[in-house]
Structure 1
């Protein structure tokens, strides 16, 4: 009887410790069966890195197209200080996302902060990853206001 009670107490203590650890890190506790990897159509979390040329090329293509079509002569020239700021910070049961930040150099000589996320299975027909991005100071419709905060975790 005492051993069963001790085992129950230790299990409860382990659960409380895990909950406190998850709460301190800002993450929710997710039962293993509810993870995105265990869905009918599993999500693997295998996303390209922040500085992957395909990711930066995707941003460059969309940025240059948008600017030339709607706003004017600005074009993306280069990137630097690219670094990750979060991987799956919203929880393991949601669509995997890699959040990144860095600087983008434009053809007018200015540097702007860029915040973006690489998201799994949100590309064409859900077959591949895609990128959601915001350039600080150029969010003209304030879709990610204030100052691209909504593009970060």
Structure 2
């Protein structure tokens, strides 16, 4: 009987502690950085991010798939979500654009700009997918996994 009371008391204390922890305001992800951070996220039409997508796409097509396909430009660039996962997660900007290719076709590209998501978290990262050219189906269906 004594052990049953102890178990009930422990469960009540655990539940009370969990409720107090859940009610506490969460800190923004930026507040955990040890390196200097200015809190500014690049916009979807940022040239550095678009250049990185262009270069990485060309590299993957040339070396992995032996394909001459290249991105020649971006149009209709827009943001469709920002920090959709909440302030306590690493800041992410979710974007979509129409990309022109050297085969004269226009395809949709979905991409995410991730603050401190680059090499060893020193710079931003870009995660992207070309709808219809997700050869490994890593972002299926229709590149939706890139989004929030």
- For the aligned pair, the TM-score class normalised by the smaller chain equals 0.7 to 0.9
TM superposition shift of 1:38 = 2.5
Unaligned runs of 5+ in 2: 1-21
Q: Are positions 1:85 and 2:80 aligned together?
A: yes
Unaligned runs of 5+ in 1: 1-28
SS in 2 for 1:67: helix
What's the TM-score once normalised by structure 2's chain length?
A: 0.78
1:41 to 26, 34, 37: 34
Note closer, same or farther for the CA distance 1:30–1:127 as it changes in structure 2 (3 Å cut): farther
TM superposition shift of 1:149 = 0.7
Which entry has the higher C-alpha Rg, 1 or 2?
Answer: 2
SS in 2 for 1:65: helix
Q: Are positions 1:120 and 2:115 aligned together?
A: yes
Equivalent residue, structure 1, for 2:19: none
CA distance in 1, matches of 2:24, 2:44: 28
The one-character-per-residue Cα deviations of 1:42-71 (angstroms, maximum 9, x if unpaired) are 766421110011110010010011011122
Q: Are positions 1:64 and 2:33 aligned together?
A: no
Q: Are positions 1:97 and 2:95 aligned together?
A: no
Which structure 2 residues correspond to residues 2-13 of structure 1 after superposition, within 5 A? none
Note closer, same or farther for the CA distance 1:40–1:138 as it changes in structure 2 (3 Å cut): closer
Superposed CA RMSD in Å reads 2.0
Contact 2:30 2:90 in 1 (8 A): no
What's the TM-score once normalised by structure 1's chain length?
A: 0.75
Equivalent residue, structure 2, for 1:25: none
TM superposition shift of 1:30 = 8.7
Equivalent residue, structure 2, for 1:52: 46
